């Protein structure tokens, strides 16, 4: 046990001595978070909103509700009017005019609610989104912002919709079938499990637009959590920097993976330098060396995440303290999963360059697909499915829920279980390989 501690101290000494490693672990992620935080969310109070042309051709009640919500959105500013140069007058945007503006590069994107925004036969919402591919990132943010707004207003919109539609057109008998149909659509639209929509009880439905009160109910279903979050959003209190919150979690996880993989693959370095053999010719066992690497990686990972979160709090006012204990839990479990990723790479590689090559590739893919860089809700359906096969996804989502929605652990238990399972399975396999093979 004492030797494990000494070995951890050794790894720590080596790490601190390696200025590049320290920079890569703390400074580079911090700088990237600043840069991307500013691009996506803007810093502190001076952050700007993304401008988007908005045309509402629908006279549906729902469209109006959404428009209102978008108007009060913290990430988007709806531009509804434009100036006519010749007559020096102001006019409302039309769809044609919006397209013209985007083509001319005067605006990055436009959102149009067409007249068939809500058709009588379906409750799917038709929204047209025009954008200039040159502004892909900004478009993605706008699209994300709109989806987010709709998504978070869902519990308010759909009950209203449901009661209205059901009563008007279907009558009691077909109500059940309609609910089913709606659940299908909502489920495919928002990736919400159908069951949780169906469990959305009629009492909640009837509370309709004044659903804020229901947020106190504690059964933890997905929709209920949404309602809860919703009310937070409406008062505009806690969440100062939603986009940055996501970015911090995403980038932190990516760099965590890089850092911890580097630590794990340093076993190769030690093998090459002969120090590993030297240690093994001293009163030290293989298991002790592995454990020391594991504990050191965990400690470093936790420190790295803490530093990055505290940093994002200092710079961007990201709220890390209201849900601090839960945040710590997610940090520890994420670090553990990232360590196990490094371990399994090391256990499988035959050389350090192979290990680093494979790790870099996998980390970049996982980060892109798993939502480190862009929110996964912007992805096409199939990619959203693929995302779930990455460690990154479960970790980023967990951070999101914890910091954005102030969720309790019960709301992210699946994320935590999956991350823990990844840790346990990967680590056991790595230990098995280390002890069996002649790798080291």
Partner 1 sequence: MLKITNLSKSFNEIIALDNVSLEINSGEFFGLLGPNGAGKTTLMNHIIGFLKSDSGEILLNNNAIKYGDKNIRYKIGYVPQEIALYQELSAYKNLKIFGSLFNLSKKELNKNIDKTLELVQLTDRKSSAVKEFSGGMKRRLNLAISILHNPEILLCDEPTVGVDPQSRNAIFEMLQELNQQGITIIYTTHYMEEAERLCNRLAIIDGGQIIASGSLMDLLNKLDSKETLKIHKTPESIELYEKLTKISTINEFDFKYELIPNKDFQKYSQLYKYFEEIGLPSDLIEISRASLEDVFLHLTGRRIRD
- Residue ranges binding partner 1 (CB under 8 A): 2-3, 6-7, 9-10, 13-14, 17-18, 273-275, 277-286
| Cα 388 from Cα 412, distance rounded (Å) | 14
Query: Which of 305, 331, 334, 293 is CA-nearest to residue 420?
Result: 334
| Cα 292 from Cα 19, distance rounded (Å) | 21
At residue 111, φ and ψ (nearest 5 deg) are: -115, 130
Query: Structure tokens of 434?
Result: 């280390």
Beta carbons of 360 and 345 less than 8 angstroms apart: no
The residues with which 129 forms a beta bridge, in sequence order, are: 111
Closer residue to partner 1, CB minimum distance, 4 or 416: 4
Q: Which residues, in sequence order, are CB contacts of 277 under 8 Å at separation 6+?
A: 271
Residue 335 CB, nearest approach to partner 1 (Å): 25
Query: Which of 241, 255, 260, 258 is CA-nearest to residue 400?
Result: 241
Q: Helix (H, G, I), strand (E, B), or coil: what is residue 60? A: coil
Q: Which residues, in sequence order, are CB contacts of 199 under 8 Å at separation 6+?
A: 221, 223
DSSP-derived letter for residue 284 is -
Closer residue to partner 1, CB minimum distance, 10 or 49: 10
Residue 295 CB, nearest approach to partner 1 (Å): 16
Residue 296 CB, nearest approach to partner 1 (Å): 13
Beta carbons of 403 and 326 less than 8 angstroms apart: no
> 10 Å Cβ neighbour count for 50?
21
| Cα 418 from Cα 413, distance rounded (Å) | 8
| Cα 189 from Cα 125, distance rounded (Å) | 10
Q: For the purposes of burial, counting CB atoms within 10 Å of the CB of 147, is it exposed (0-12), middle (13-18) or buried (19 or more)?
A: middle
Residue 6 CB, nearest approach to partner 1 (Å): 4
| Cα 82 from Cα 95, distance rounded (Å) | 12
């Amino acid at each position: 046990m004492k030797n494990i501690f000494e070995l951890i101290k050794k790894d720590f000494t080596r790490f601190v001595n390696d200025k590049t490693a320290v920079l890569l672990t703390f400074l580079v992620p911090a700088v990237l978070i600043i840069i991307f935080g500013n691009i996506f969310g803007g810093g502190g109070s001076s952050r700007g909103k993304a401008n988007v042309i908005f045309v509402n051709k629908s006279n549906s009640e729902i469209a109006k509700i959404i428009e209102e919500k978008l108007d009060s959105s913290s990430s988007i500013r709806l531009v509804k009017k434009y100036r006519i140069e010749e007559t020096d007058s102001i006019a409302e945007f039309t769809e044609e005019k919006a397209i013209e503006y985007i083509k001319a590069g005067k605006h990055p994107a436009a959102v149009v609610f067409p007249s068939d925004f809500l058709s009588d036969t379906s409750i799917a919402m038709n929204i047209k989104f025009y954008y200039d591919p040159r502004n892909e990132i900004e478009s993605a943010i706008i699209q994300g912002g709109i989806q987010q707004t709709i998504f978070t207003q869902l519990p308010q919109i759909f009950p209203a919709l449901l009661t209205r539609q059901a009563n008007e057109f279907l009558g009691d008998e077909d109500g059940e079938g309609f609910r089913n149909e709606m659940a299908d659509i909502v489920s495919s639209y928002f990736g919400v499990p159908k069951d949780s929509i169906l469990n959305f009880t009629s009492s909640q439905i009837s509370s309709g637009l004044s659903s804020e009160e229901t947020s106190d109910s504690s059964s933890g279903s997905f929709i209920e959590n949404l309602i809860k979050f919703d009310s937070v959003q409406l008062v505009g209190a806690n969440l100062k920097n939603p986009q940055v919150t996501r970015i911090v979690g995403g980038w932190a996880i990516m760099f965590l993976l890089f850092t911890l993989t580097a630590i794990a693959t340093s076993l190769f370095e030690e093998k090459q330098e002969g120090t590993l053999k030297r240690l093994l010719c001293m009163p030290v066992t293989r298991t002790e060396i592995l454990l020391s690497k594991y504990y050191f990686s965990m400690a470093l990972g936790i420190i790295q995440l803490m530093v990055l979160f505290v940093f994002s709090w200092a710079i961007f006012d990201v709220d890390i303290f209201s849900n601090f204990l839960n945040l710590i839990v997610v940090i520890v479990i994420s670090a553990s999963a990232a360590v196990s990723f490094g371990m399994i790479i090391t256990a499988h590689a035959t050389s350090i360059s192979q290990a680093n090559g494979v790790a870099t590739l996998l980390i970049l893919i996982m980060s892109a697909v798993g939502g480190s860089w862009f929110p996964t809700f912007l992805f096409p359906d199939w990619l959203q499915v693929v995302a779930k096969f990455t460690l990154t996804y479960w970790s980023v989502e967990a951070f999101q829920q914890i910091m954005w929605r102030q969720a309790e652990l019960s709301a992210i238990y699946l994320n935590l279980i999956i991350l823990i399972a990844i840790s346990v399975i990967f680590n056991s396999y790595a230990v098995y390989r280390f002890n069996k093979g002649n790798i080291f």
